[in-house]
Structure 1
Amino acid sequence: PGPGHDLRQGQPDAASFPRSAWLAAARRALVAAPNEAFGPGDPQGRRELRTVLADYLARARGVRTDPDRIVVCSGFAHALRLLFDGATPVLPPAEHGPLAVEAYGLGFHRGLLAAAGVTTVPLPIDERGARTGELAQRPDVRTALLTPAHQFPTGGPLHPGRRAAVVDWARGRGGLVLEDDYDGEFRYDRQPVGAVQGLDPERVVYLGSTSKSLTPALRLGWMVLPDHLVDRALAAKGEREGWASALDQLTLAEFIDSGGYDRHVRRMRRRYRDRRDQLVAALAARAPHVEVSGIAAGLHAVLRLEPGTERSVLKAAAYRGLAVDGLADYRHPAIGEEAMPAVDGLVVGYATPPDHAYPAALDALCDILPPCA
């Protein structure tokens, strides 16, 4: 049996997938689809999707691109594999050397990179995001992977000065910034900050997907590439599309072009903002000593705990039947205490529980939090 209460991060609200609107878009897309759409797929992705993506990303995220610089993939993990793994990776590890990553991130992604032979170098994080100035101390590093809009999982955005500085670093080093636009569309206290890619499209690879905005079940993502990397990406994918369904691509293109995607994102932005507000209100009432760190954005929040209490809180959560993640699980194993002291905390995903179960999940969370010291 699953947990009694599920507050794990990484899952959008499955019940909110726009089934009727998606079905209507699929019908329109199938009626309008040319016959060749039902043949072998283009590894770059359907032109219809790349065209509407270029327009949408420019309008919503400030991305500077055109359809010929977009390569469709099946999600962020697939993009990493195309960039670093396989017989003809876009960025061969032997050629590009170590990859700088943020000191906190998904272990799954670090494992994927390690399996591809990529050495990852952790960048410390503070209240202004990744300390990109420290890249200058690593002359062997030419590529950095960042989550500038909403650092995962700690929750802060990359400071404007550091955004500009990391692009300058990439220019001077002849390197690249890989921009994982995690939660870029879900900012609740202000308009979302534009993508770093807009500062220099030839030095930033922009990576996005539908995993959080729609559903991870769709398996659609995209890479916006500098001109000189497009052919490499297509060589890495192979002669035919083997990952992303052409019919799903056509449906997503129609869904975006008809305005359905914008309406869905606006609706989910309100829904997730309300969920976060409920979490903050519950903590203010029952555990006011617990800090919610990071900005009002995304599908999760980090609760800061007193030093030395994270493991005991997680044990109490398991006893209570509450599934929640500890912040330590996301810490890069190579980052030392002298570079960045460890912080105890919980990573709370507030998008997953259905409406009827969310209040009880918040009660269970407040029950396992330690009292004020």
Structure 2
Amino acid sequence: MDRAKQAAVDGSISAGSDFLQLDVGEARPGGRADWLAARLRTAIADGRVPVGARLPASRVLAAELGVSRGVVTEAYQRLTEDGHVVGRGRGGTVVVATPAEVVICPPEPPPVSDVFAEPPGADVFDALRTAPAEIDLTPGVPDLGAFPRAAWLRAERAVLARLAPAAFGYGDPSGTPALRLAVATWLARSRGIRVDPAEVVIVAGVSQGLGLLAQVLHDDGIHTVAVEDPGSLGVRQHLRNWRFDTPPVPVDGHGVRVDDLVATGAPAVLLTPAHQFPTGVVLDGDRRRQLIRWAERGGLVIEDDYDAEHRYDRPPVPALRAMLPERVCYTGSVSKLLAPALRIGWVLVPPRYRDALVAAKRMADLGNAALPQLVLAELMDSGEMERQLRLLRRRHVRRRDAMIAAIRAHLPGAVVHGAAAGLHLTVTLDGDVSDVALAAAALRRGVKVQPLSWHGQLPQPPGLVLGYAANPAGDLERGVAALGAARRELG
């Protein structure tokens, strides 16, 4: 006798089913099929069981509820007669229609005035992300359509085919050994960094890496981190969230001004030396030597290796970590090379901070999900990452050139910065114009951009930060044309 029939004979009732938290004790005597049909109908109507979902097999649900199988089949039959579900043989019982029209209203997009309120609030990037626009020129967004789906699926199948059951358990909070080795190899080959895989800590992107570093440094008595100016508003907000002071250090055509860094008295500085955000400047040799002398006197560098792989018209520059490992905390990720949705990055720190960093990672989330780490390691080891990078470089050059041509045509007088590398351009504008007002006017015309002034604490010339990697040439031309119209509208 099966479990459901035995329960019916005994008159016993189980605790219920995990499916929709069903408790048959709620049913009136003799009305179990009515009760179950009503509960399922409500769940379909409110979206907990969406169209296309398969209901549990009648035998399984009956066993979980401790009722006869006939109760479940009767409830399913009533939903079938109503046209809400259909039986598909071995495919099971599938939801095909809701009992009534269910309208799910998306959140109301923020008004343009809220997106570009001054000064920008902590939620400014969320507000801009959700604002509707036909063309999105937000910087830092890679070509999401270029994600290597076929290669990822091949790598995933290869990983799953050889994965031992134990690998599905909790692992090392520092990351899987396979990915730490692959990252160490990648950094040695592409960034000149020699590091033992044991020193690599896998994190959920650079954002989490900075948060973990902030905790470690705060506990070490560091409460001030100088930042480049202009420099990333998001990074500045992140540090301030961890109660850090962020004195600005000016950036010029040679990179961060180390003499001004010294003048701040800050014990640490956060830099994007390979491709400074947002100006695109590379930290030159003389400034690197000055920075090394500052670090050797006790300063600490946090190196965000932003856009380091995406270079087009200039030779590669070594990472600071390769030159001064004892005084540099290094962060990187695959967000701009594959996709931000993967949430996979890495952190390297001097030995004195490593145990504290791993402890912070353990307390944060016990470590990144293992399966995506193993798939990424397979991509790195197989050469797919290099192939993807070569493809993206060719595509990015075409799109960059299209944007520069559009700027020349529609924004006369604008000066382009940072064209030799990266995923965005910065333009500075002539005349007396508010870049915040210009960005707001552009959004009203269906184009998203970021004003340069968002990214500065010191006075800056008006400008815009324009991402080009995620859009085909035609959209870039139309987007910049809309910027030109907005510029003329403002006078």
Which ranges in structure 1 are unaligned for 5 or more consecutive residues? 336-340
Q: RMSD in angstroms over aligned alpha carbons?
A: 2.0
Q: Which of these residues, 474, 478, 481, is aligned with residue 363 of structure 1?
A: 481
Answer yes or no: is 1:349 the counterpart of 2:349. no
Match of 2:390 in 1: 266
Secondary structure at the counterpart of residue 155 of structure 1: coil
Deviation, 1:7, is 1.0
Q: Which of these residues, 153, 156, 169, is aligned with residue 294 of structure 2?
A: 169
Deviation, 1:366, is 3.7
Q: Which of these residues, 184, 193, 203, is aligned with residue 63 of structure 1?
A: 193
Q: 1:146 to 1:240 in 2, by over 3 A?
A: closer
Answer yes or no: is 1:95 the counterpart of 2:95. no
Pairwise mapping of residues 184-203 of structure 1 onto structure 2 (< 5 A)?
A: 184-203=308-327
The answer to whether the Cα contact below 8 Å between 2:403 and 2:477 also exists between their aligned partners in 1 is: no
The answer to whether the Cα contact below 8 Å between 2:136 and 2:447 also exists between their aligned partners in 1 is: yes
The answer to whether the Cα contact below 8 Å between 2:410 and 2:481 also exists between their aligned partners in 1 is: no
The answer to whether the Cα contact below 8 Å between 2:329 and 2:349 also exists between their aligned partners in 1 is: yes
Equivalents in 2 of 1:34, 1:262: separation in Å? 28
Equivalents in 2 of 1:240, 1:206: separation in Å? 19
Equivalents in 2 of 1:370, 1:62: separation in Å? 47
Q: Which of these residues, 201, 207, 211, is aligned with residue 77 of structure 1?
A: 207
Equivalents in 1 of 2:272, 2:145: separation in Å? 27
Deviation, 1:165, is 1.7
Cα distance per residue 1:58-105 (max 9 Å; x no partner): 110111211011100001110111111xxxx32116711311111122
Q: 1:239 to 1:116 in 2, by over 3 A?
A: closer
Q: Identify which range, 24-33 or 40-49, moves more after superposition.
A: 24-33
Answer yes or no: is 1:152 the counterpart of 2:282. no
Secondary structure at the counterpart of residue 11 of structure 1: coil
Answer yes or no: is 1:11 the counterpart of 2:150. no
Q: Which of these residues, 210, 218, 235, is aligned with residue 334 of structure 2?
A: 210
The answer to whether the Cα contact below 8 Å between 1:186 and 1:192 also exists between their aligned partners in 2 is: no
The answer to whether the Cα contact below 8 Å between 1:178 and 1:204 also exists between their aligned partners in 2 is: yes
Equivalents in 2 of 1:244, 1:327: separation in Å? 34
The aligned amino acid for 1:69 is: E
The answer to whether the Cα contact below 8 Å between 1:42 and 1:239 also exists between their aligned partners in 2 is: no
Between 1 and 2, higher relative CO (CA 8 Å, sep ≥ 6) is seen in 1
Q: Identify which range, 224-233 or 285-294, moves more after superposition.
A: 285-294
Pairwise mapping of residues 11-50 of structure 1 onto structure 2 (< 5 A)?
A: 11-50=141-180
The aligned amino acid for 2:386 is: D
Equivalents in 1 of 2:167, 2:315: separation in Å? 37
The answer to whether the Cα contact below 8 Å between 1:45 and 1:241 also exists between their aligned partners in 2 is: no
The answer to whether the Cα contact below 8 Å between 1:12 and 1:299 also exists between their aligned partners in 2 is: yes
Equivalents in 2 of 1:216, 1:315: separation in Å? 26
Q: Identify which range, 111-120 or 233-242, moves more after superposition.
A: 233-242
Match of 1:126 in 2: 252
Give the structure-1-normalised TM-score.
Answer: 0.90
Q: 1:306 to 1:370 in 2, by over 3 A?
A: farther
Q: 1:295 to 1:360 in 2, by over 3 A?
A: closer
Cα distance per residue 1:127-177 (max 9 Å; x no partner): 1111122222233x211100001111111111121122212211112x311
Answer yes or no: is 1:284 the counterpart of 2:439. no
Equivalents in 2 of 1:367, 1:48: separation in Å? 52
Matched residue pairs, number?
359
The answer to whether the Cα contact below 8 Å between 1:54 and 1:67 also exists between their aligned partners in 2 is: yes
Kindly, what percent of the aligned residue pairs are identical? 42
Cα distance per residue 1:251-294 (max 9 Å; x no partner): 00000000001110111111111110111122234444221112
Larger Rg: 1 or 2?
2
| Greater helix content | 2
Equivalents in 2 of 1:353, 1:296: separation in Å? 18
Which ranges in structure 2 are unaligned for 5 or more consecutive residues? 1-130
Q: 1:368 to 1:176 in 2, by over 3 A?
A: same
Pairwise mapping of residues 325-340 of structure 1 onto structure 2 (< 5 A)?
A: 325-332=450-457, 335=458
Deviation, 1:348, is 0.6
Match of 1:338 in 2: none
Equivalents in 2 of 1:295, 1:129: separation in Å? 15
The answer to whether the Cα contact below 8 Å between 1:326 and 1:345 also exists between their aligned partners in 2 is: yes
Equivalents in 2 of 1:244, 1:370: separation in Å? 49
